[in-house]
Structure 1
Amino acid sequence: MTAVVTEPVDLRDGRAPLLITRPASSDALIDEAAFAAGDEYLPYWAELWPSAVVLARRVAAADLRGLRVLEVGCGLGLPALAAARAGATVVATDWSADAVAAAAGNAAAAGLTGSVTCVVADWRDPGPLVAAGPFDVVLAADVLYEARAVAPLLTLLATLNAPQVILADPSRATAEPFLAGATAVGWSITSTQAEDRPMVRVHELRRDGTAVPP
């Protein structure tokens, strides 16, 4: 059985911290056989990344009542839970079944199972995500860790046609071609730097005539 740890995350919203349970060591989850076979599966989902914390705090400060929110690459589910606490109905997705199980467990521990649905879905295949929509806001934290993720993410956003996207990224080089591509197809982008985690930037994308939640 994999050892786990539980971390409190203060969303700075004046409420009790969210408790996020995760594997104590992501290294213990590496499937050497799958990696050797070319699947290149690494358990990125098992870490509580700074970008997820920053995104969750940004979302917690918004009024999302009545909105439908999609998180792609949800990992442990922190931003999804923050969105649910801010009033949204949320679909949290990851291609890893282990990640989805962890996110569902964290949602249950937070008493948010009525607001958060956790689903195995690969955002490189937009069909099932489109079928689950429409969505008002799409969330993503640190999903551009490989250059090959840029084109599929742009395709997904174009296919979903959600008016707003909030993406947190730790200043990876791959963010620049993504932002350039998003601008080229008509997204307006506002980027801010996290005060206490200066490497993390929050990129808020909107279609003309729409406003990112305050």
Structure 2
Amino acid sequence: MDVNNDSSDDVSSPEPHQAMKTTSDHHFRDSNSSDDVISITIIESMKEEYGLFVWPCSLILAEYVWQHRVRFAGVNVLELGAGTSLPGLVAAKVGANVVLTDDADRSEVLDNMRRVCELNNVKCEVMGLTWGVWDESFFSLQPQVILGADVLYDSSAFDNLFATVKLLLENSPGSVFITSYHNRSGHHLIEFLMVKWQLKCVKLLDGFSFLPPWKASGSMKEEYGLFVWPCSLILAEYVWQHRVRFAGVNVLELGAGTSLPGLVAAKVGANVVLTDDADRSEVLDNMRRVCELNNVKCEVMGLTWGVWDESFFSLQPQVILGADVLYDSSAFDNLFATVKLLLENSPGSVFITSYHNRSGHHLIEFLMVKWQLKCVKLLDGFSFLPPWKASGVSGNIQLVEIALSDVGKN
């Protein structure tokens, strides 16, 4: 992007680019045997398509299938929201009859599933199945095991997901649903859903309790800070479109990760401090490398939400940025305590965050009231994206500007 002092939108549209594709290899073996080994190759796409990336929950569920492979041999298995399909592919490799499913409207994901099956020389049926939408072919399914990796992600889809699971279980007596999920909201979430849908838990495991050490210490790192998320793209675009506002301003990005919004701010003339958890040395090192790569001077600082030293109180940002920092509910209090202190330390400052609206507006409203903050602007994250960007990003994303409320001001 060329930087100038004109605040009008850049209407030029670059040529559409192909999403960067890569492959990842996943190996399954017994620690005491070198003979019993399988390998799966997955095609991943580095675009904002959650179904084209291998998530930690998928790795854990795939390992569970492998370690219980005798149970899966010859069994009818259906994977919901399969995406890159690693658990289902492992099941197929150990002898299960597998149907891989994902949203019927996600043709790119379904096509990728077919390519991955061919690549790994396994025969799986690939089927479009939108949760809550059932046709005649759905009722012919009789899986003995239903798999779902990280399908408890978007709360707006929970009812359709569990209605689908319940119908499948009813249609195949004795069947079970095995899911791995990131415990973002506590076990009460899964407990509530089971009660609501008249289901019961027959086994609950810590996902890391059965992982071999060589997986638990390496490929299972949930390093979300090294990936560019849709919320980051939207916040970066917002900074770009308001670049006159950011020129010469002190900007601090919280939970910066790959730092795209902060880097755009630096490119348009802001004085930028990029921060992420002080314990995430790999992320902080990557931030420094990215600054060098883009020839921008940003301070990179370890800042753990809720942990404040003398250097923290010397910060006086006029704008605080945060892309998809409203992710883990257990961190909300520390995040908003940090934001409030920064706002109090720099009168007139604002916090601009883009977030995936997983739980409805009541979440952000509750947090603002709790921390004596107020909303000064709320936008649909897609309302200002140029068409050539909007077509490549998905999700229900909001952008909000937050300031101290009159009650919260000293």
TM-score range, shorter chain: 0.7 to 0.9
User: 2:375 is aligned with what amino acid?
Assistant: S
* C-alpha distance in 1 between matches for 2:304 and 2:398: 24
Residue by residue over 1:112-132, the C-alpha shift from the partner in whole angstroms, topping out at 9 and shown as x without a partner, is 02xx11122212313356334
Q: Which residue does 2:354 correspond to in 1?
A: 168
Q: In the alignment, is residue 112 of structure 1 matched against residue 296 of structure 2?
A: yes
Query: Structure 1 186/122 Cα, relative in aligned 2: closer, same or farther at 3 Å?
Result: closer
Q: Which residue does 1:136 correspond to in 2?
A: 318
Say whether the 8 Å CA contact 1:90–1:117 is kept in structure 2.
yes
Q: In the alignment, is residue 51 of structure 1 matched against residue 237 of structure 2?
A: no
Given candidates 102, 105, 122, the residue that maps to 2:304 is 122
* C-alpha distance in 2 between matches for 1:45 and 1:198: 19
- Give the Å deviation of 1:61: 1.7
Given candidates 39, 47, 60, the residue that maps to 2:240 is 60
* C-alpha distance in 2 between matches for 1:175 and 1:139: 19
Query: Structure 1 61/145 Cα, relative in aligned 2: closer, same or farther at 3 Å?
Result: same
- Give the Å deviation of 1:188: 2.8
- Give the Å deviation of 1:177: 3.0
Q: Which residue does 1:102 correspond to in 2?
A: 286
- Give the Å deviation of 1:45: 0.7
Say whether the 8 Å CA contact 1:121–1:129 is kept in structure 2.
no
Q: Which residue does 1:200 correspond to in 2?
A: 397
- Give the Å deviation of 1:142: 0.8
Say whether the 8 Å CA contact 1:55–1:141 is kept in structure 2.
yes
Say whether the 8 Å CA contact 2:251–2:318 is kept in structure 1.
yes
* C-alpha distance in 2 between matches for 1:154 and 1:175: 16
Q: Which residue does 2:363 correspond to in 1?
A: 177
Say whether the 8 Å CA contact 1:183–1:189 is kept in structure 2.
no
- Give the Å deviation of 1:87: 1.6
* C-alpha distance in 1 between matches for 2:311 and 2:357: 27
- Give the Å deviation of 1:94: 0.8
* C-alpha distance in 2 between matches for 1:97 and 1:129: 18
User: 2:381 is aligned with what amino acid?
Assistant: A
- Give the Å deviation of 1:41: 5.9
Query: Structure 1 179/132 Cα, relative in aligned 2: closer, same or farther at 3 Å?
Result: farther
- For the pair shown, the structure with the greater C-alpha radius of gyration is 2
| TM-score (structure 2 length as normaliser) | 0.40
User: 2:363 is aligned with what amino acid?
Assistant: P
Given candidates 321, 324, 328, the residue that maps to 1:146 is 328
* C-alpha distance in 1 between matches for 2:360 and 2:308: 21
- Give the Å deviation of 1:187: 1.9
Q: Which residue does 1:188 correspond to in 2?
A: 375
Given candidates 272, 275, 281, the residue that maps to 1:90 is 272
**Counterparts in 2 of 1:29-40, with a 5 A limit?**
none
User: 1:83 is aligned with what amino acid?
Assistant: A
User: Which structure 2 segments of 5+ residues have no match?
Assistant: 2-8, 15-21, 25-52, 60-207, 383-389
Q: In the alignment, is residue 157 of structure 1 matched against residue 339 of structure 2?
A: yes
Identity score, percent:
22
* C-alpha distance in 1 between matches for 2:216 and 2:365: 33
Say whether the 8 Å CA contact 2:249–2:271 is kept in structure 1.
yes
Say whether the 8 Å CA contact 2:254–2:321 is kept in structure 1.
yes
User: 2:341 is aligned with what amino acid?
Assistant: T
Say whether the 8 Å CA contact 2:252–2:272 is kept in structure 1.
yes
* C-alpha distance in 2 between matches for 1:99 and 1:176: 31
Q: Which residue does 1:212 correspond to in 2?
A: none
- Give the Å deviation of 1:66: 2.1
The RMSD of aligned alpha carbons is: 3.5
Q: Which residue does 2:184 correspond to in 1?
A: none
| TM-score (structure 1 length as normaliser) | 0.73
Say whether the 8 Å CA contact 2:340–2:404 is kept in structure 1.
no
Say whether the 8 Å CA contact 2:375–2:400 is kept in structure 1.
no
* C-alpha distance in 1 between matches for 2:405 and 2:292: 37
Q: Which has the higher contact order (CA 8 A, sep 6+)?
A: 1
Q: Which residue does 2:90 correspond to in 1?
A: none
* C-alpha distance in 2 between matches for 1:89 and 1:182: 27
Q: Which residue does 2:6 correspond to in 1?
A: none
Query: Structure 1 191/118 Cα, relative in aligned 2: closer, same or farther at 3 Å?
Result: same
- Give the Å deviation of 1:36: 6.4
Residue by residue over 1:142-196, the C-alpha shift from the partner in whole angstroms, topping out at 9 and shown as x without a partner, is 1121111211111111111242011011112287434322145132342111222
